[in-house]
Amino acid sequence: MRFFGAFSVPASLSAIAFAVVAALPLRALAGEPLAAPGGADRDPAIAGRLLALDPDHISAREVAEVLARVPAPRIVLLQGSFAPITMEPFAEFLIGMGYPPDRIRNPRDGGYSSSSFTDSRQVAGALAWYYETEGMRPLVIGHSQGGMLAIRVLHDLAGGFGDTIPVWNPITDTAEARTAIVDPLSGSSRPVVGLRLPYAAAIATGKLARVLLGQWTMLDKLREIPDSAEEFTGFAIEWDLIAGLFPRSDPYLASGSAAVRNVILPATYTHIGLPATGHLATNPVTRAWIEAYAPDGNAAIPDGADVDTTNLLHAADIWHSVKRHWAREAQRLVAAQHQDAK
């Protein structure tokens, strides 16, 4: 897989990129095609700027002027087991930072947060459907039990619970009579099992709840991240009694080549309150800190009587990853089209 960094874009490649930006491949199902963000924008200069982006260093200006005008990958947000606490506030944060709402919204019910009491194979099948339909591999972020479901989906996609998974249509909410999709970039048939996601994250997901809820099959897999994720980040609060997380709890580890990070959150954060991040996008101080955030940086947390920094760290870290994979997936579309044109 080839991603484009900063370089001079030839006119022919810019034209191809423009075609991709202007016409993301979509498949009309249930009588209604899904909308393509950026599809109305017909400025070939934007395609050239997209190819020149460095995905690891995306500025606020580049989000507003470039990424907001090109396609974006689907983000699936999985909430925890306590029904009143959803991932809707986290969706508000992402949208406030510039992410297109229709790439988070469930196309069937319009919600931004999905239940974690869902068959993981259904979620895996829907992720494959989104990739086939929208042309970009989805991202998955789960809180508490939603994090467990996200990890189980990764094991499903890696073949850990079976050799086949039916494609799941999220609009009709039914399984399709097939276990493979047409890869939108190569045009070839490929099974759902084996699909690799660019990014997944689990927030405050512990083993104690798996025991209490009888989710025995995940106990030996909860900290093992298979190759079905290119990048994975696990967030934890030490002494999180709800999750059963204590100091020196088992870290997440890659079983193969996945890039896995473990982030310890401040003790002042609370398990139930972690999705509440919408305020961070509206305050100029916290927003600026998030926009400048780098995982390997050491910038001091902003302070002040009018600055609420609750949940700042994981919000900034996830937004950094979302920006990176938004850019990479959009560039991936262009790279595939360029190969086809040779």
| Model pLDDT for residues 76-124, shown as the tens digit of each residue | 999 998 889 999 999 999 999 999 999 999 999 999 999 999 999 999 9
Instruction: Name residue, tokens 């009143």.
Output: 84
3-state secondary structure of 162: coil
- DSSP H stretches of helix in the chain: 11-22, 44-52, 60-65, 88-96, 120-134, 145-157, 207-212, 278-282, 284-292, 312-341
Domain boundaries, the chain: 75-322
Model pLDDT for residues 167-200, shown as the tens digit of each residue: 999 999 999 999 999 999 999 999 999 999 999 9
Q: Which of 281, 280, 262, 138 is nearest to 204 (CA)?
A: 262
User: Is residue 203 predicted with pLDDT exceeding 50?
Assistant: yes
Q: What's the mean pLDDT in 214-222?
A: 70
Q: Which of 336, 235, 338, 237 is nearest to 295 (CA)?
A: 235
Q: To the nearest 10°, the Cα dihedral for 92, 116, 265, 244? A: 150
Cβ atoms < 10 Å from Cβ of 211: 12
Beta pairing, strands 189-191 & 180-182: antiparallel
Of residues 3 and 93, the one with the higher pLDDT is 93
- Report pTM: 0.88
Q: What burial class does residue 322 get, using C-beta atoms within 10 Å of its C-beta: 0-12 exposed, 13-18 middle, 19+ buried?
A: buried
User: Is residue 162 predicted with pLDDT exceeding 90?
Assistant: yes
Q: Which of 43, 38, 125 is nearest to 73 (CA)?
A: 38
> What's 75-322's CATH class?
alpha beta
